[in-house]
């Protein structure tokens, strides 16, 4: 199938601060894949490849030189203000430029992008509506027939409801941007990773979680053989499954591992899991190790049952401990993810560090509790938000006043967690023992 009219599309991933990772823009690569299938000329402009200086002039030059008439921004919670401001400036400079916004923030909070300069907000599940638009044109009568799009007629926004949840992609990603950006691709101290997605949303409902609201809040899984075919075609030794939780259906995971082993696909896999799956299913871990799983990111979140209950995590401190042990026994690294609550006392910070030491947890990441707009936590805390600017929504900033200490002391204690834990990770990485899960010392 061919697109209706020759258009040139520039897909932009805005840069945001991240010292932990810089990975390929998978969402945009799926759109680039769709454009490739339809014969639409398209390029990804990944701002992560450039410095922050002269951002606007660099982007303007790109649009001008390339003769792009459509620009699509990929929006995260921490880039929405930048996108809105940049769209205003672009529209002044290029009045005929058609500006679209999509991505997770548009999917959840599409109304935030209803500005004069933005022409289309895409909040649908999956890419079917976008495919129809590319085929039939960006005309009001075409847009009016689609699901999950917002557009303007006579300066009034028209909102089309989302379509049904999706359970697969309609194309393969075009990984040109991945190959181009490989030199700058990294996860802190782990090297470069390609990313893949094997499911949509999450079957659980933690109060602070943004991911579980995706795909209309419905968890679906891609056919596992399709996922394996895609993995096999990726020419990179390390793959990160960015599924919100990859380990849900034990039989599916087993099938995945068996086929990976059968087909002799040799990769280092990294994936997210809940602690309860790991605590309850130690028998699958040897097979996962054999298939190449070396890293699991575990949402441990907290070390007190009260806080875990408050997050609606449906786990416990004991479950967390068991999950860490099961992974270590099977030589798979547990990357512990913690949410530092604004309710934490000095004692809670101490308890958290004590838990990390006691359980010989080497790899850890701390995020400050942030009630992202669209989550249940946002509804609970919206009256108490402070400095709730999009660029501060990254888990590194305070957005609710700490209850048991000053903001200054809270930040000092968060930094102290890093100071107490990261030198050891760096040291063990230098001595090439950071993946030895039985080792306890610094070397």
| Binding stretches for ligand SF4 (CB under 6 A) | 202, 204-206, 209, 211-212, 244-245, 274, 299
The residue (of 7 and 218) whose beta carbon lies closer to ligand SF4 is 218
Min dist CB 427 to ligand SF4, Å, is: 30
Min dist CB 76 to ligand SF4, Å, is: 16
The single residue listed with the structure tokens 């009630």 is: 371
The residue (of 244 and 295) whose beta carbon lies closer to ligand SF4 is 244
The residue (of 210 and 349) whose beta carbon lies closer to ligand SF4 is 210
The residue (of 13 and 274) whose beta carbon lies closer to ligand SF4 is 274
Q: What are phi and psi of 233, to 5 degrees?
A: -85, -10
What is the distance between the terminal CA atoms of the chain, rounded to a whole angstrom? 58
Min dist CB 339 to ligand SF4, Å, is: 9
Cα–Cα distance measured from residue 349 to residue 416, given in angstroms and rounded to the nearest whole number:
9
The residue (of 60 and 312) whose beta carbon lies closer to ligand SF4 is 312
Min dist CB 438 to ligand SF4, Å, is: 27
The residue (of 33 and 299) whose beta carbon lies closer to ligand SF4 is 299
Beta carbons within 8 Å of 388's beta carbon, 6+ residues apart? 399
Min dist CB 177 to ligand SF4, Å, is: 25
Cα–Cα distance measured from residue 443 to residue 427, given in angstroms and rounded to the nearest whole number:
6
Min dist CB 245 to ligand SF4, Å, is: 5
Q: Which of 69, 162, 171 is nearest to 121 (CA)?
A: 162
Min dist CB 358 to ligand SF4, Å, is: 24
Min dist CB 372 to ligand SF4, Å, is: 11
The residue (of 205 and 394) whose beta carbon lies closer to ligand SF4 is 205
The residue (of 299 and 395) whose beta carbon lies closer to ligand SF4 is 299
């Amino acid at each position: 199938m061919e697109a209706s009219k020759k258009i040139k599309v520039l897909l932009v991933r805005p840069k945001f601060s991240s010292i932990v990772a810089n990975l390929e823009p998978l969402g945009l690569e799926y759109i680039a894949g769709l454009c490739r299938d339809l014969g639409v000329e398209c390029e990804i402009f990944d701002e992560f490849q450039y410095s922050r200086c002269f951002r606007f002039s660099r982007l303007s030059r790109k649009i001008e030189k390339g003769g792009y008439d459509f620009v699509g921004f990929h929006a995260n919670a921490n880039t929405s203000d930048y996108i809105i401001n940049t769209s205003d400036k672009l529209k002044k400079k290029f009045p005929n430029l058609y500006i679209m916004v999509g991505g997770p923030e548009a999917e959840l909070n599409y109304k935030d992008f209803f500005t004069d300069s933005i022409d289309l907000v895409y909040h649908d599940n999956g890419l079917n509506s976008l495919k129809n638009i590319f085929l039939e044109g960006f005309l009001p009568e075409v847009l009016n027939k689609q699901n999950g799009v917002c557009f303007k007629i006579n300066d009034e926004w028209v909102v089309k409801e989302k379509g049904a949840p999706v359970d697969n992609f309609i194309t393969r990603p075009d990984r040109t941007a991945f190959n181009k950006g490989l030199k700058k691709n990294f996860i802190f101290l782990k090297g470069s990773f390609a990313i893949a997605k094997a499911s949509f949303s999450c079957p659980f409902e933690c109060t602070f979680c943004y991911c579980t609201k995706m795909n209309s809040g419905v968890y679906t899984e891609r056919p596992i053989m399709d996922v394996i075919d895609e993995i096999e075609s990726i020419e990179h030794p390390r793959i990160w499954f960015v599924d919100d939780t990859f380990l849900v259906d034990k039989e599916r995971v087993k099938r995945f591992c068996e086929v990976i082993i059968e087909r002799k696909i040799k990769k280092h896999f990294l994936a997210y899991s809940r602690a309860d799956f790991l605590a309850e299913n130690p028998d699958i871990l040897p097979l996962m190790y054999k298939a190449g799983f070396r890293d699991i990111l575990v949402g441990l979140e907290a070390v007190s049952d009260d806080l875990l209950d408050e997050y609606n995590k449906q786990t416990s401190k004991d479950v967390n401990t068991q999950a860490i042990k099961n992974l270590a026994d099977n030589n798979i690294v547990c990357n512990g993810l913690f949410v530092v609550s604004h309710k934490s006392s000095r004692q809670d910070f101490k308890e958290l560090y004590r838990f990390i030491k006691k359980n010989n947890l080497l790899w850890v990441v701390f995020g400050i509790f942030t009630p992202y707009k669209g989550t249940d936590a946002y509804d609970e805390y919206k009256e108490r938000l402070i400095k709730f600017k999009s660029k501060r929504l990254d888990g590194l900033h305070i957005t609710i006043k700490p209850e048991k200490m000053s903001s200054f002391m809270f930040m000092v204690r968060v930094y102290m967690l890093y100071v107490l834990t990261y030198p050891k990770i760096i040291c063990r990485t230098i001595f090439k023992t950071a993946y030895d899960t039985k080792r306890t010392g610094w070397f």
